Amino acid sequence: MPIETTQPQSFAGLVTSPAYPVWAKPEPADNPTRHRKTYAFLRAMMANWDRIVDAAQSAAYCHGSQTAPADALDDLGATYGGLARALKDDTVSYRAYLKNPLSRWYRFGTKVGLLGELAHLGYPSAQIVSWQDLVTAGAAAPNVVFGGKTTFWYLAIFAPNPIATLYARWLASGGTWGTGSTWGGAPTAWAYLDEIRRIIALCKPAHTSCRHIVCFADTLSGLDAQLLPTGSYSVFPVNEPWERIRPSYAYNPYYTTSPLVP
């Protein structure tokens, strides 16, 4: 059999193969009206089949993180269960992040999964400090730490980190208003904090509640022996969505500044 029949390149091309009868062929040059309607009908129907095949191939191509075009990766990450692009991701690193979504999904809802996602954001040394951790370290009595709420915890982000630029300070020594110096840090730095909050909501164990994020400004600052923050740091609130105060959606100030102060 000719290759047009055994290995057709398209449905529409099948009409011209020897496998199809003469009445299905294009009209001959010496009789241009012969079986024109039959051929036109078959060709149109098969062209639609080809379009379906092309669409399926395109969908399969775009659904794979390693083959999808760069401008489709963000949408692909959304369909992968909220695996959004990190602020530090370029196209290459984001493709690598999306390569095996199952390896991330099955860890969501666990401490390991949350720390893994934070590491991907650029915080490999982030630490989850739970009620149990604080009680064991002797920070206070069990009924005092987070008011006895055993499912509460806070997140420590150590320096260096981009959130340190949030601290109110002049970014240029001796800067004066109007010279390009900025007060309050880089305007995009808040996006890093929102990114951490997004990952917490996505990956934390469902029965727990992160109350706040502690961000240390330098490498000399950190947690003391009781796992309480010391040195130069800032604290940012984290609430469950249902806790946010309506209609302003302000953070509910309940253990959002310290594990010992409601």
pLDDT tens per residue across span 20-31:
666 666 666 666
Cα dihedral angle (243, 247, 249, 251), rounded to 10 degrees? -60
For residues 14 and 8, the answer to whether their CB atoms sit within 8 Å is: yes
d(CA 150, CA 17): 74
Q: Tell me, what's the pLDDT at 246? A: 93
**Chain centroid, CA 171 distance in Å:** 30
Tokens read off for 134: 């604080």
pLDDT value of position 245? 94
Q: What span, in angstroms and rounded, lies between the C-alpha atoms of 186 and 182?
A: 7
Tell me the residue type at 48.
Answer: N
pLDDT of residue 190: 82
DSSP state of 20: S
Q: In which residue ranges of the chain is pLDDT below 50?
A: 1, 168-185
